[in-house]
Structure 1
Amino acid sequence: MKCLRIYATPDGESHFDEVELPTTKRSVYPDAVPFEVSASYQASRVRLTRIPAGMREVAWHTVPEPVLTVRLDGSVEYETSDGEVRHVQAGSFVLVEDTHGKGHLSRHSAEAQTVIWISLPNGLDLPPA
C-alpha cells in the first residue's frame, strides 16, 4: 500500500517521498474473507478536524509530531520547500513528518473538508530516506 510522505532533511528542507506500507493477507475476524492488512502502529492521539469552506492557503508550517492524515472529503495541494507540489484527493492519506525546518504549504479546495489526524510518535517505523 503506497503512502505519500512529507519529511524534512537535517538542513530543514522539506521533500516528498512515497513509501510502501507492507501488508499481509489475513482475516480480521473468524470466517471473514482475507484481505490486505498493514502492521499495527502506535498512535498517541486521534483528532477529527473540520476545515471550513473558503480556507484556502495555510502559511508555511511544520507539524509538532509525525501525523498520518486521512482526508475524508475535499482536496489539498501541498508544496514542499524544494518547490515540488502534490495534489491529494479525498480518500488519500499522507504521512507528515516535517517536524523541523521550513515546513510545507497547504492549499485547500474551496469546499469544507473533514480530515482525521492520527499522531504517530514513532512514525510508521520506516527506514530513513
Structure 2
Amino acid sequence: MKCLRIYATPDGESHFDEVELPTRKISVHPDAAPFDATTNYPASQVRITHIPAGMREVAWHGVPAPVLTVRLDGSVEYETSDGEIRNVSAGSFVLVEDTHGKGHLSRHSPEAQTVIWITLPNGLENPST
C-alpha cells in the first residue's frame, strides 16, 4: 500500500515521496474474506477538523510532529518548497513530516472538508509489535 509523504531535508526544503506500507492478509470474522492491512503504528493524538467552505490557501507551514492526514471529503493541492505540486482527493491519506524548515502550502477545494489528523510520534518507521 502506498502513502504520499511530505518531508523536509536537513536544509529545511520540503519534498514529496511515496512510502510503501507493508501489508498482510487479516480476517476479522471467520465468514469474512481476508483483506490487506498494515501493522499497527503507535499514535499519540487523533484530531478531527472541519475546514470551512471557501478556505483556499494556507500560507507556508509545517507540522510540529509527524501526522497522518486522512481526507474524508473535498480535496487539497499541496506544494512543496521545491515547487512540486500534488493533488490529494477524498479517501486519500498523506504522511506529513516537514517538522522543520519552510514547510508546504495547502490549497483547499472550495467546498467544506473533514480531515482526520493522527499524530504518529515515530512516523511510519517503527510499528508496534
Please report the TM-score for the alignment, with normalisation by the length of structure 1. Answer: 0.95
Structure 2 spans left out of the alignment, 5+ residues: none
Q: How many equivalent pairs are there?
A: 126
Q: Which residue of 2 aligns with 1:51?
A: 51
Q: Which residue of 1 aligns with 2:93?
A: 93
Which SS does the other structure have where 1:73 is aligned? coil
| Residues 72-112 of structure 1: CA deviation (Å, up to 9, x unaligned) | 00000000000000000000000000000000000000000
Query: How many Å separate the matches in 1 of 2:28 and 2:123?
Result: 23
Query: How many Å separate the matches in 2 of 1:29 and 1:97?
Result: 35
Deviation at 1:32, TM superposition (A): 2.7
Deviation at 1:34, TM superposition (A): 0.7
Q: Which residue of 2 aligns with 1:37?
A: 37
Structure 1 spans left out of the alignment, 5+ residues: none
Q: Which residue of 2 aligns with 1:4?
A: 4
Question: Does the alignment pair 1:14 with 2:14?
Answer: yes
Query: How many Å separate the matches in 2 of 1:87 and 1:2?
Result: 15
Amino acid at match of 2:72: L
Runs of 4+ in 1 over 6 A off after TM superposition: none
Amino acid at match of 1:46: V
Q: Which residue of 2 aligns with 1:82?
A: 82
Q: Which residue of 2 aligns with 1:116?
A: 116
Query: How many Å separate the matches in 2 of 1:97 and 1:28?
Result: 31
Deviation at 1:53, TM superposition (A): 0.3
Amino acid at match of 1:53: A
Q: Which residue of 2 aligns with 1:63?
A: 63
Amino acid at match of 2:50: R
Deviation at 1:33, TM superposition (A): 1.6
| Residues 9-63 of structure 1: CA deviation (Å, up to 9, x unaligned) | 0000000001110000121344432100101000000000000000000000010
Q: What is the identity percentage for the equivalent residue pairs of Structure 1 and Structure 2?
A: 83
Query: How many Å separate the matches in 2 of 1:119 and 1:26?
Result: 24
Please report the TM-score for the alignment, with normalisation by the length of structure 2. Answer: 0.95
Query: How many Å separate the matches in 1 of 2:106 and 2:33?
Result: 39
